[in-house]
Amino acid sequence: MLRNIDEKIDLNNSINAELETMAKTLYDYWFVQFDFPDTNGKPYKTSGGKMVYNPTLKREIPKGWSNKTLSQIANITMGQSPEGSSYNEEGNGTVFFQGSTDFGWLFPATRQYTTSPARIAKKGDILLSVRAPVGDMNIANSDCCIGRGLAALNSKSGSDGFLFYVMKYFKQVFDRRNSEGTTFGSITKNDLHSLTLAYPTPELLKMYDDVVTNYNKMIFERSLENRELIKLRDWLLPMLMNGQVTLK
């Protein structure tokens, strides 16, 4: 029974990893390489689509696109830690995450609570680590208080799938700079707000979001199922070992 539970957890993780890879690959192909489908269904840039130099981004982007900062496309809440005396692990008050310590594969594990919440992230918000390791992400699976090690983001246009992979792209940028010796110990509010990206047309944005929303729904469902399976396994194991439960 325990092996079956573990195998199901592993299978869910494998499916989730594949779905995320597909969404990320599509993002890179469309919004980094600019080979989204043109009016004839062919790769835009490779097929000779019109490119225009953007002085802010200092590179060419597809005609009809614009440059935007992260603060223009996302609502951003920087975390603020409540009084230390309000922390508890007994479930009193609001779920509290100080930083990325409790991050899981997609959702953070609840460990601490606070009776004096300062900054609140809403269920479904992207939780972004703003201290080393900068750029790590999880999704809030309930309303929660966030400390100074985190920021919470959600899309102003409702395109949360697109925003999630925008932040995945910026994570790659942070990691590349770290590998080049420009270490990011933290990222400030101004740094985060001023991150700049090439922003697509509304039609292309909707097309991407329609695809990725389905991927994310499947990822979320399997991630939540795994949380329940892990609870079940961890509850069963000691009871089986000490004889409180037997299997026929």
Is 243 part of a structural domain of the chain? no
Among residues 72, 185, 75, 89, the alpha carbon closest in space to that of 129 is found at: 185
| The pLDDT value given to residue 63 | 97
Is 118 part of a structural domain of the chain? yes
| The pLDDT value given to residue 245 | 84
Is 210 part of a structural domain of the chain? no
What's the order of all strands across the beta sheet hosting 87-88? 87-88, 112-114, 94-97, 144-146, 120-121
- Please, are residues 142 and 148 in contact by the beta-carbon 8 Å criterion? no
> Cβ-count burial of 211 within 10 angstroms (0-12 exposed, 13-18 middle, 19+ buried)?
middle
State the pTM of this model.
0.86
CA distances from residue 212 to 14, 79, 125, 206 in whole angstroms, order as listed: 17, 28, 16, 10
DSSP SS3 for 149: coil
* C-alpha to C-alpha distance for 73 and 60, rounded to whole angstroms: 21
Q: At what angle do helices 160-179 and 202-241 cross, to 10 degrees?
A: 80
Question: What is the number of domains present in the chain?
Answer: 1
| The pLDDT value given to residue 55 | 97
Is 33 part of a structural domain of the chain? no
Tens digit of pLDDT per residue, the chain (248 long)?
899 999 999 999 999 999 999 999 999 999 999 999 999 999 999 999 999 999 999 999 999 999 999 999 999 999 999 999 999 999 999 999 999 999 988 999 999 999 999 999 999 999 999 998 889 999 999 999 999 999 999 999 999 999 999 999 999 888 876 666 555 578 899 999 999 999 999 999 999 999 998 898 899 899 999 999 999 999 999 998 898 888 77
- Please, are residues 23 and 161 in contact by the beta-carbon 8 Å criterion? yes
The answer for residues whose C-beta is within 8 angstroms of residue 89's C-beta and 6 or more apart is 111, 112, 113
Check which CATH number belongs to the domain holding 168 and give it: 3.90.220.20
User: Which residue range is the domain that position 124 belongs to?
Assistant: 68-199
Is 223 part of a structural domain of the chain? no
Phi, psi (deg, nearest 5) at residue 79: -70, 155
| The pLDDT value given to residue 177 | 66
Is 140 part of a structural domain of the chain? yes
The answer for residues whose C-beta is within 8 angstroms of residue 214's C-beta and 6 or more apart is none
| The pLDDT value given to residue 163 | 95
| The pLDDT value given to residue 184 | 59
Is 162 part of a structural domain of the chain? yes
- Please, are residues 164 and 158 in contact by the beta-carbon 8 Å criterion? no
Is 19 part of a structural domain of the chain? no
